[in-house]
A = this chain, B = another copy of it.
Amino acid sequence: MASLKDVALKAGVSPATVSRVINKSFLVEQQTKQKVIKAMEELGYSPNIMAQNLSKKENFLIGVIIQDICNPYFAGILKALENEIYDLGYNIIFLHSDSNLFKEKNCIKSIMKMRPDGIIITPIEWNSENILKLKNIDIPVVILTKIFEEFNGVAINHKEGGAQIARHFYDLGYDKIAYLGNNNDKFQGFQEELQFLNKKLYSYLEISLDKYDFKMAKFLVKEAIENYIKNNKELKFNAIFAENDILALELISVLKEFGKKVPEDIAVAGFDNSFFSEHFGITTVSQPINEISKLAVKILIDNIKNRNKVLERIELTPRLLPRNSTMILK
């Protein structure tokens, strides 16, 4: 593969001039520029970005680590981030942690090797070792979809989202209210609001974190329901909040398998407003993906350009989208 030196030789100029044509072409005379461009084309020259970055301070690279690219919600975030980032002239290094803490660790390691100007990450776990490690690096980091004490972050208020579902169930008169998922902020907000309304959580169907994976959702849901039935003989709750739309989707099919009608027998609500939830009429809480992404990039770039900025933690308000899975439409 042709190098800058080859181009210089072919064009009969110095390497520096070729470099100028690439980076600050306004500094070079029209005529020489044309010679150089011609040589580049003839050689099919493409600058070696590794070498470029080695000799520059800023390399216009932003690392993005996404948790589960098969989840349309995260795919949407990545796409929104891309749009923002490219517009600003930066490039993205995307890495996929695949909801796996070990892989996430490797993602962070890999990204650090590339010396990005900044990092945006949707972390798998609250306060995992992986994230703590990010505290001690000298590269700006923005955490997405979760808020951490000592990091920049953009997220919706998950507690409020959970609370919205609780109020929704309450308003509709459901009295045996369950939760399916992990013990997280959504769950906390859900539970606190129930308490505030003088209700108690009727059942907690746990999905253990370390096994959680998009492809396994169906299996996990089934397992959770079967466990519940083993312990309680039958499905006794009449409303259930699943921590995300994928779980909700799977839950609805599993409930059907067990002869339950949704929402007549059991109401189901999800979270995220993934693209399919509208089609399925799943009641959910919408996250403003574009706004989140836009803010994340803004904060990151601010931090890159202007170090030692104070941390920014922005919480956006989620919005309940009531649909058929909790309400019988007339």
The stretch from A110-118, A167-175, A185-193, A219-227 touching chain B is: A110-118
With both beta carbons as reference points, the residue of chain B lying nearest to A250 in the complex is identified as: B279
How many copies of this chain does the complex contain?
Answer: 2
Minimum C-beta distance from A70 to chain B (A): 5
Q: Is A46 an interface residue (CB 8 A)?
A: yes
> A215-258 vs B: 1/0 string, CB under 8 Å?
00000000000000000000000000000000001001100000
> A102-131 vs B: 1/0 string, CB under 8 Å?
000000011011110000000000000000
Chain B residues with CB under 8 A of A197: none
* Cα distance A51–B115 in the bound complex, in angstroms: 11
Chain B residues with CB under 8 A of A44: 136-137
> A78-107 vs B: 1/0 string, CB under 8 Å?
110010000000010111101000000000
* Cα distance A54–B46 in the bound complex, in angstroms: 15
Q: Are B72 and A70 in contact (CB under 8 A)?
A: yes
Q: Are B249 and A279 in contact (CB under 8 A)?
A: yes
Q: Are A115 and B1 in contact (CB under 8 A)?
A: yes
Q: List 25 A-B contacts (CB under 8 A).
A: A44-B136, A46-B109, A47-B113, A48-B54, A48-B115, A49-B113, A49-B115, A50-B51, A50-B59, A50-B115, A52-B113, A54-B54, A69-B75, A69-B78, A70-B72, A72-B75, A79-B96, A93-B93, A94-B95, A249-B279, A252-B279, A253-B279, A276-B276, A276-B279, A280-B280
